[in-house]
């Protein structure tokens, strides 16, 4: 999914810089590798999942993806999240999984969000009850 602000923008026009500012990560896995809860089976599309990029520890961008293991790494304090299992924390100080953004495909074939995130995005100390 390329945000409207990036449509038609070439790499020479700052595409990578704009992409780096995005706060949602889109990843595609083989659908059979996703261990989704019943509720979240409709939140992905053909193995494509979307998660917040903002680490739940103290908010660094989680942007290092290991394609072979399906792990996302946070470079700040080395938290690791397992994308195949709801981005649950498998290592490090983060206390909760990365929030998932429910996505689908519209009539024109574009990936779209079904709703907002269902839980607060960002560090656990932000807006937590």
Q: Which residues bind ligand FES (CB under 6 A)?
A: 55, 57-60, 74, 76-77, 79, 92-94
C-beta of 93 vs 120, nearer to ligand FES:
93
The CA R_g of the chain, rounded to the nearest whole Å, is 15
Residues near 26 by beta carbon (within 8 Å), at least 6 away in sequence? 1, 48, 49, 50, 103, 111
Q: How far is the CB of 102 from ligand FES (least distance, A)?
A: 23
C-beta of 57 vs 70, nearer to ligand FES:
57
Q: Say if CB 92 and CB 54 are below 8 A apart.
A: no
C-beta of 60 vs 111, nearer to ligand FES:
60
């Amino acid at each position: 999914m390329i945000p409207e602000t990036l449509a038609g923008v070439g790499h020479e026009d700052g595409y990578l810089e704009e992409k780096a500012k995005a706060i949602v990560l889109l990843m595609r896995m083989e659908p059979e590798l996703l261990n989704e809860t019943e509720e979240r089976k409709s939140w992905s599309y053909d193995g494509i999942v979307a998660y917040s990029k903002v680490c739940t520890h103290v908010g660094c961008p989680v942007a290092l993806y290991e394609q072979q293991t399906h792990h996302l790494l946070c470079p700040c304090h080395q938290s690791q999240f397992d994308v195949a299992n709801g981005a649950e924390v498998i290592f490090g100080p983060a206390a909760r999984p990365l929030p998932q953004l429910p996505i689908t495909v519209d009539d024109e074939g574009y990936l779209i969000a079904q709703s907002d995130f269902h839980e607060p995005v960002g560090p656990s100390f932000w807006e937590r009850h």
